[in-house]
Amino acid sequence: MDALTTDLAAPRALSQDLWPQQLDTGWQCVSTPAGACASPADLPAQGWLAAQVPGTVAGARRAAGLLDIANPPPLAFDDHWYRLTLNGTGKRRLRLHGLATLAEVWLDGIKRIESDSMFVAHDLDVDLHGSATLALCFRSLTPALAAKRSRARWRPRLVTPPTLRNVRTTLLGHMPGWCPSVQAVGPWRPIEMLSDAPHAFDTIDLTSRLEDDDGIVSLTLHFVHPHDVDTCPASLKCGDCVSSLQWKDAYTLNGSVRVPHAERWWPHTHGAPTLYPLTLQLDDESAISHSLGSVGFRSIEVERGANGMGFALRVNGTPVFCRGACWTSADLVTLTGTEAQLRQTFSLARDAGMNMLRVGGTMVYESNAFYALADEYGLLVWQDFALANFDYPTDADFSASIEREATQFLARTRRFASLAVLCGGSEADQQAAMFGLPASMRAQPLFTEQLRAIAARERPDAAYVSNSPSGGAWPFSTNEGVTHYYGVGAYQRPLDDVRRAEVRFAAECLAFANVPDDATLRDALGTLHQHDPRWKAAVPRDPGAGWDFDDVRDHYLQTLYGIEPARLRYEDPERYLELSRAVVADLMGDVFAEWRRAGSTCGGALVWQLQDLRPGAGWGLIDATGRPKSALHGLARTLQPIQLVMTDEGLNGLDIHLLNEGAGPLHAQLDLVCLREGSVKVASASRAVELARHSTLCLSAAGCLGQFFDFTHAYRFGPRAHDVTIATLRDPASGQILSEAVHLPERHAGERHDLGLTVRVERTAEGWQLIIEAKRFARFVHIADPHYRATRDWFHLPPNRPYAVPLVPVEKLVAHAPNAVFKADATCAAPAGEVRAINAISAIFYG
């Protein structure tokens, strides 16, 4: 069954009544103690709240001002009822796309459906005679958690309680230490009534594939009502190509259309994410055309390398370095997001140079809107099935539930070109190995056989990975298969571990407690102090560990910047926060520079995580209010399709790596300069460079200069001759900077200087911008403005070069309305804020 017609990405026909009607208004909900009401007849008359569907109990309480998200009640352990009055006559079909989690569906006091999985959809045929009452009951999880099933071989610490392995529900809300305890209860996916119109659609199944150089789109369309197949010819149009469809029976149309020499869909870093519009033509008396959305054509292959130990993707035959982050949720309370929320996050990810998002096994399957936007934005999706950490049951009932869940998900998403990797789940193999089980006792046929077979049957065009991580002697070995790399990060390894680890593909990496901007700390968290209980409550930690991820960041603050964190924190808390933001930007940039360099073994890496689930110093690159953090800006400096990075090769000096992932050749000018005291030129060179499409080039700085210079201060013949090396890649015709990288032979952050910073505000046709200039190299320039966001931030600024930074109004989310949108703050006419740099004595104010 296909949910395409129900959510934000659903195409709308010119004749609207052919699509299912969303039953999204008029709902009420009430909570009762577990088992207090056996049927709707027992429900109380008082205490009902207005409820949004799709939605959750937590969402209804938040809308009514009754939810303390910092201390939410254990919603999954009470009963909750929803009700709605249905009006109409005749036989109709209801479609319930997702009920979290142990659910009953009642019609006029008669129980019609029982569901034990939040990840499956149900149909209910009804016969209406005027009005009827639809009631949904969401029962306490307690009985299911106590049910006897096969004994688990291990119990992970991540999830509470461990018997959640028996229940098909999300782990969000059940992972103390890094996720707020907002538990998923309610009709979290749409509920619909299929249209009663003569040509009403029931289900739509669309697939696309490549055949030689042509694109093939196949359609199977089921109607609600039978048709006269002799008087209703039909055709499918893809772009400019049209093909007739055939009636399989009175309810079913199928067929395909061929697009000769089809343009490929690419991740945006490597080409255009080309999509073809689809139109259904029913040539009856009405002759109405119906938009069926769009599809893309692409191929996905896994490259294992010469020794078979690697993992990388080829898209359309071209190697793609996959980089991005792990998705959490656009809204933890409702488990979904509006189109505005999703677009804002996707835009930030794309603009940072990301080309892949991973939906992990601890999360949920996302809406069709999510995957449709990934198609549009050119973002690949790595999709785990909703399974993580556990040794899962092996009985027939559990296996049948997984079969239905996985098949439904892949059927509704198989049209999306962005869905590139399917993964059995997260960290199940790792948990078994870390509990000391030998390889022979770690395997779960659920991952190695059942889900692999379903994926091959339903999405043969996507890659399949049995588990993440997996592949080495230990599943989490870094030099084989897919790993979760936290060497730099939780394990506090030095930066040179990144090369030593020989990472092949990191489906997770680089978790830090990333500090948001002061505006978020003040407005959303209410504190700027690290040891305030409100701060600590938002800092992620591993269950049972005697440290948290603030401690991890502080380790690098000390080892990389030469700062004693505890002392700085109480002597100068604002400086501590400033350097804390800078150090993670440094780490993110350096690690990805290593992984993207020419000769790297790494085929991709995804940062843990993209967005925070609550305000504070969480793992997110984007904070809970939608503001990007310094970590995202640090990544943006190293993830672009045309990219220059430098790596410190010790006694071999500096290597300069040029990357051209674009569809055409690159002709550019490379400039290299070394400065003393941030302004005095002591060495420089310039040369023309050429790169073919989808290629890399490695140059040595020494080769560019043509004479000895101790770029990395490795030989130490006396004091350092310079304190910064700047490599710049320019368009030779316009002089436009295509990419730039900086190397500091010494990164201690104790010294501050008068940099001669100046800033002026300019009005342009597009809005406002800042023109920033310095007389001395400025390290990690940051713009703080309460009403505007800098599109470029946390960047290095060479001396005597004016730099334009566009500003966009801070968008504030009107979060609790059904049609939640981002609205620009209109309270100020012009920007007013300050520009800082971590090596500047003081900030410069503007406005």
> What are the residue ranges of helices labelled H in 443-502?
445, 451-458, 497-500
32 CB neighbour count, 10 Å cutoff: 17
> For residue 182, how many C-alpha atoms fall within 13 Å in the half-sphere facing its CB?
23
> What would the two tokens of residue 22 be?
């969303």
Q: For residue 757, give the 3-state DSSP assignment.
A: coil
DSSP code, position 523: I
Task: Give the pLDDT of residue 440.
Answer: 85
Residue 403's H or E segment, with its range, is: helix 396-413
Q: What percent of the chain has pLDDT over 70?
A: 96
Q: Nearest-CA neighbor of 275 among 261, 290, 265, 260? A: 265
What's the CA gap between 98 and 117, in Å, rounded? 8
- Cβ 547 vs Cβ 536: under 8 Å: no
> What would the two tokens of residue 495 be?
């930066």
Any residues with CB less than 8 A from the CB of 438 and at least 6 apart, and which?
none
Angle at 840 between CA 839 and CA 842, to 5 degrees: 145
Q: What is the mean pLDDT of the chain?
A: 93
List, in sequence order, every beta strand (DSSP E) within 304-430. Answer: 312-315, 318-320, 322-327, 356-359, 380-384, 419-423
Rg (CA), the chain: 28
**Sign of the Cα pseudo-torsion (82, 88, 89, 94, in order):** negative
Task: Give the pLDDT of residue 528.
Answer: 72
pLDDT in tens, 790-809: 999 999 999 999 999 999 98
What's the CA gap between 334 and 186, in Å, rounded? 9
Cis peptide before 665 (omega within 30 of 0): no
List, in sequence order, every beta strand (DSSP E) within 520-641. Answer: 604-607
Total residue count of the chain as it appears in this document: 847
pLDDT in tens, 755-778: 999 999 999 999 999 999 999 999
Task: Give the pLDDT of residue 12.
Answer: 38
Angle at 78 between CA 75 and CA 81, to 5 degrees: 95
- Over 60: is that where the pLDDT of 308 sits? yes
Task: Give the pLDDT of residue 828.
Answer: 64
Residue 595's H or E segment, with its range, is: helix 573-596
Residue 557's H or E segment, with its range, is: helix 549-561
Place of tokens 């090369």: 499
Task: Give the pLDDT of residue 312.
Answer: 98
Which of 244-253, 350-359, 532-541, 637-646 is predicted least confidently?
532-541
What's the CA gap between 602 and 499, in Å, rounded? 10
**Residue 626 forms beta bridges with which residues?**
none
Task: Give the pLDDT of residue 9.
Answer: 37
User: Residue 708: pLDDT band by 50, 70, 90 thresholds?
Assistant: very high
What's the CA gap between 445 and 467, in Å, rounded? 11
pLDDT in tens, 80-130: 999 999 999 999 999 999 999 999 999 999 999 999 999 999 999 999 999
Any residues with CB less than 8 A from the CB of 808 and at least 6 apart, and which?
767, 788, 789, 791
**Sign of the Cα pseudo-torsion (13, 124, 97, 61, in order):** positive
Q: What is the pTM of this model?
A: 0.95
What one-letter code names the amino acid at 237?
A: K
Q: For 129-154, what is the mean pLDDT?
A: 94
pLDDT in tens, 8-29: 334 433 345 788 999 999 999 9
Q: Is the model more confident about 148 or about 490?
A: 490
Q: For 824-828, what is the mean pLDDT?
A: 54
List the domains of the chain with CATH numbers.
21-193 (2.60.120.260), 201-295 (2.60.40.10), 311-533+593-633 (3.20.20.80), 642-743 (2.60.40.10), 758-846 (2.60.40)
Place of tokens 């490695």: 698
Whole-number Cα distances in Å, 418 to 338, 356, 725: 20, 9, 39
Task: Give the pLDDT of residue 819.
Answer: 37
- Cβ 327 vs Cβ 373: under 8 Å: no
Task: Give the pLDDT of residue 5.
Answer: 37
- Over 80: is that where the pLDDT of 286 sits? no
Place of tokens 């504030």: 812
Q: For 541-567, what is the mean pLDDT?
A: 93
Whole-number Cα distances in Å, 369 to 6, 412, 623: 9, 11, 22
594 Ramachandran zone, left/alpha/beta (phi>0; psi -120 to 50): alpha
Task: Give the pLDDT of residue 827.
Answer: 56
DSSP code, position 611: B
- Cβ 767 vs Cβ 806: under 8 Å: yes
Task: Give the pLDDT of residue 149.
Answer: 84
Q: Nearest-CA neighbor of 510 among 423, 589, 607, 595? A: 607
User: Residue 637: pLDDT band by 50, 70, 90 thresholds?
Assistant: very high
What's the CA gap between 407 and 592, in Å, rounded? 36
